[in-house]
């Protein structure tokens, strides 16, 4: 009865559109009240869930992303993408994906990337003759590269939950992220040829060099973060502080996209976004404690292993489960609730933990572009002024492309493990 009340209240709140963080808190409170457990447990686990040094990365990287975005970096990234690909058929679409791949090294979150790149690219693509639904769908799909190419907020959460090396996970995401980006660019090119989408004039090498020089400082930020962590110069948390200082100097003095008087607004926006994420982590830790006390993770593991102990079948089962969960549950909440029990199953059948982390993160990133709760679809659709159903139809080719990459990463561990093994 208690478990039914826990999951029943959780599902009801989700269906009513209650924010996921509040949903986790309400479901946990219902369980504790029915179980006659003192509600002070909520405060204890809420605090212990948020009391993590690694979690300090989140406000740091969020602030760094907002500073770079406020500093005009998005326009420079889009300009560089256009200079490289604008003369090819479907060039604006290719520039959209390329811009997302570059911006991924700054934001670490898919929703921020959808909003930033989409605000520039979707109106530009519509004006050039692309369908509004296609432009919105492409922007949403490309944004999922954001949390795969380092830095990555979901990977920071995984490191907090399990103690896995955040630096190793950052490196592990580099090749899968590039594969996703290149795959989507090929998909755009094929669709552009079939649909006769427009192409622009070749801007010349001078424009490519000029745009590349302007975007250089944004690209350099990714390398500073990644190689600083890999080289042992600073921890991921310290890297986020370095990123903030770097973004502040570049945004204020190089790109001159904001002034000192703009800082309070940027910091307030970052604080609200970071606070919501960390509150979600804290409330999910309460929910996770309840699941553990009821031995739900052990039941999930036993159920899967009772069907088969074949590693490849387990990978298929986990992929199916996470793809389904990603369609209706927010990424961070799904990671906090499902990652620990599924990691236990994965390690029992011989799957490397870092490899499994990549499988889980990519799966749940795809959930951001699948209805009914594909947040990136809503954001992109709102910018493009098209309905969810229209965007959902257009995103299918990109979703299939990303699922193909997921399968390759799932069954070829070297794609995610080669770089970590090389540097560590």
CB-CB neighbours of 40 under 10 Å = 9
**Residue 265 in this model has a pLDDT that exceeds 70:** yes
Is the CB of residue 106 less than 8 Å from the CB of residue 222?
yes
Mean pLDDT score, 370-376: 71
**Residue 54 in this model has a pLDDT that exceeds 70:** no
Mean pLDDT score, 288-309: 77
**Residue 372 in this model has a pLDDT that exceeds 80:** no
The per-residue pLDDT for 71 is 67
| Backbone dihedral angles phi then psi of residue 108, each to the nearest 5 degrees | 75, 0
For the stretch 223-232, pLDDT in tens is: 787 777 767 7
Mean pLDDT score, 320-331: 78
- Please state, in angstroms and rounded to a whole number, the distance separating the CA atoms of residues 404 and 186: 13
- Please state, in angstroms and rounded to a whole number, the distance separating the CA atoms of residues 198 and 128: 7
Token reading at 374? 């594909």
**Residue 31 in this model has a pLDDT that exceeds 90:** no
The per-residue pLDDT for 217 is 81
Mean pLDDT score, 64-82: 74
Using CA atoms, how far residue 222 sits from 133, 279, 301, in Å, is: 31, 27, 37
What's the mean pLDDT when you consider all of the chain?
82
- Please state, in angstroms and rounded to a whole number, the distance separating the CA atoms of residues 257 and 273: 21
Token reading at 416? 């995610």
Mean pLDDT score, 111-115: 73
- Is the alpha carbon torsion for 231, 237, 240, 241 positive or negative? negative
**Residue 424 in this model has a pLDDT that exceeds 80:** no
**Residue 418 in this model has a pLDDT that exceeds 90:** yes
Helices (H), 235-367: 236-249, 263-293, 296-307, 311-326, 331-348, 353-367
For the stretch 165-215, pLDDT in tens is: 888 998 899 999 999 999 999 999 999 889 888 777 777 788 888 888 877
Is the CB of residue 316 less than 8 Å from the CB of residue 83?
no
Mean pLDDT score, 251-271: 83
The per-residue pLDDT for 105 is 63
Helices (H) and strands (E) in the chain, counts: 22, 0
User: Running DSSP on this structure, what letter comes out for residue 254?
Assistant: I
- Please state, in angstroms and rounded to a whole number, the distance separating the CA atoms of residues 110 and 124: 20
Four-CA torsion 4, 7, 10, 16, nearest 10 degrees: -70
The per-residue pLDDT for 4 is 85
- Please state, in angstroms and rounded to a whole number, the distance separating the CA atoms of residues 97 and 99: 5
Is the CB of residue 398 less than 8 Å from the CB of residue 135?
no
Mean pLDDT score, 45-74: 75
Question: Who's near 352: CB < 8 A, 6+ residues apart?
Answer: 413, 417
Helices (H), 108-145: 110-127, 132-143
pTM over the 0.75 mark: yes
């Amino acid at each position: 009865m208690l478990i039914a009340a826990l999951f029943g209240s959780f599902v009801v709140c989700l269906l009513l559109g209650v924010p996921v963080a509040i949903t986790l808190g309400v479901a946990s409170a219902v369980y504790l009240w029915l179980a006659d457990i003192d509600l002070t447990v909520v405060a204890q686990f809420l605090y212990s869930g948020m009391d993590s040094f690694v979690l300090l990365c989140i406000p740091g990287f969020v602030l760094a992303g907002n500073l770079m975005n406020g500093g005009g970096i998005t326009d420079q990234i889009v300009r560089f993408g256009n200079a490289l690909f604008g003369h090819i058929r479907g060039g604006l679409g290719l520039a959209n994906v390329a811009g997302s791949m570059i911006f991924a090294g700054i934001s670490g979150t898919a929703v921020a990337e959808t909003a930033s790149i989409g605000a520039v690219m979707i109106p530009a693509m519509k004006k050039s003759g692309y369908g509004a639904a296609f432009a919105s769908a492409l922007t949403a799909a490309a944004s999922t590269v954001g949390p795969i190419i380092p830095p990555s907020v979901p990977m920071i959460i995984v490191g907090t939950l399990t103690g896995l090396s955040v630096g190793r996970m950052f490196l592990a995401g580099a090749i899968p992220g590039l594969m996703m980006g290149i795959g989507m660019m090929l998909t755009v090119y094929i669709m552009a040829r079939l649909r006769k989408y427009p192409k622009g004039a070749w801007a010349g090498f001078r424009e490519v060099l000029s745009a590349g020089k302007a975007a250089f400082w944004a690209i350099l930020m990714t390398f500073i973060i990644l190689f600083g962590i890999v080289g042992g110069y600073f921890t991921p948390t310290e890297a986020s502080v370095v990123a903030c200082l770097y973004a502040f100097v570049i945004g204020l003095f190089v790109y001159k996209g904001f002034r000192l008087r703009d800082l309070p607004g940027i910091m307030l926006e970052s604080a609200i976004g970071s606070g919501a994420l960390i509150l979600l982590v804290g409330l999910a830790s309460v929910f996770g404690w309840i699941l553990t006390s009821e031995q739900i993770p052990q039941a999930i593991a036993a159920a899967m292993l009772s069907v088969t102990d074949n590693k490849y079948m387990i990978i298929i089962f986990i992929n199916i489960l996470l793809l389904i969960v990603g369609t209706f549950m927010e990424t961070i909440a799904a990671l906090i609730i499902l990652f620990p029990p599924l990691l236990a199953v994965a390690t029992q059948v011989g799957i490397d933990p870092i490899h499994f982390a990549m499988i889980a993160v990519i799966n749940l990133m795809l959930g951001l572009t699948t209805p009914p709760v594909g947040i990136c679809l809503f954001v992109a659709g709102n910018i493009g002024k098209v309905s969810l159903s229209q965007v959902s139809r257009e995103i299918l080719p990109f979703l299939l492309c990303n699922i193909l990459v997921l399968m390759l990463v799932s069954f070829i561990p070297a794609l995610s493990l080669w770089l970590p093994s090389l540097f560590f």
